[in-house]
């Protein structure tokens, strides 16, 4: 079952069939700092296994985010973007509000995300640096997509 939210001319939908893979892939592979060069097939697989949120103006997709989750205890917010020509209208804030209010994502013990430059946006929603960063561990393969 998918959900839809509307604000004026804009719609956010969790309908995976509505996601425009070419828009998401182009942004992630060409404009994002975190997924530069990501293969189209990898984006398609990530979408297939996530709770997805597309932002639309009419039929045109203008934003995206996905949540990797077990829908019970944990969620990781990833690949959040609004296309440059549509920024400054509060769509990114609205997108995060919608994601955090999604009925399947309530009562989770922990949300996580990684960002280089949007800490202020996420602080508005209660995100913060880990209390004890020494307990958080990661395994990262830098430039993975550039080598494929």
pLDDT in tens, the chain (148 residues): 899 999 999 999 999 999 999 999 999 999 999 999 999 999 999 999 999 999 999 999 999 999 999 999 999 999 999 999 999 999 999 999 999 999 999 999 999 999 999 999 999 999 999 999 999 999 988 777 775 5
User: Residue 140 has what pLDDT?
Assistant: 87
The 3-class secondary structure across 42-75, one letter per residue, is HHHHHHHCCEEEEEEECCEEEEEEEEEECCCCEE
Query: Counting beta carbons within 10 angstroms of the beta carbon of residue 15, is it exposed (0 to 12), middle (13 to 18) or buried (19 or more)?
Result: middle
Q: Which structural domain range is residue 77 located in? A: 4-147
User: Residue 147 has what pLDDT?
Assistant: 56
Give the Cα separation of 71 and 46 in Å (integer). 16
pTM, entire model? 0.94
- The count of domains in the chain is 1
Q: What CATH number is given to the structural domain containing 122?
A: 3.40.630.30
């Amino acid at each position: 079952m998918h959900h839809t939210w509307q604000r004026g001319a804009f719609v956010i939908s969790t309908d995976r069939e509505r996601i425009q893979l070419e828009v998401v892939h182009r942004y992630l592979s060409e404009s994002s700092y975190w997924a530069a060069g990501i293969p189209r097939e990898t984006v398609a697989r990530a979408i297939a296994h996530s709770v997805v949120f597309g932002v639309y103006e009419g039929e045109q997709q203008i934003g995206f985010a996905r949540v990797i989750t077990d829908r019970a205890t944990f969620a990781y917010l990833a690949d959040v973007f609004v296309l440059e020509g549509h920024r400054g209208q509060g769509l990114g804030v609205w997108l995060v509000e919608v994601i955090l209010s999604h009925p399947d994502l309530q009562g989770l013990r922990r949300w996580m995300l990684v960002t280089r430059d949007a800490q202020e946006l996420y602080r508005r929603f209660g995100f913060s640096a880990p209390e004890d960063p020494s307990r958080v561990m990661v395994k990262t393969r830098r430039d993975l997509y550039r080598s494929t």
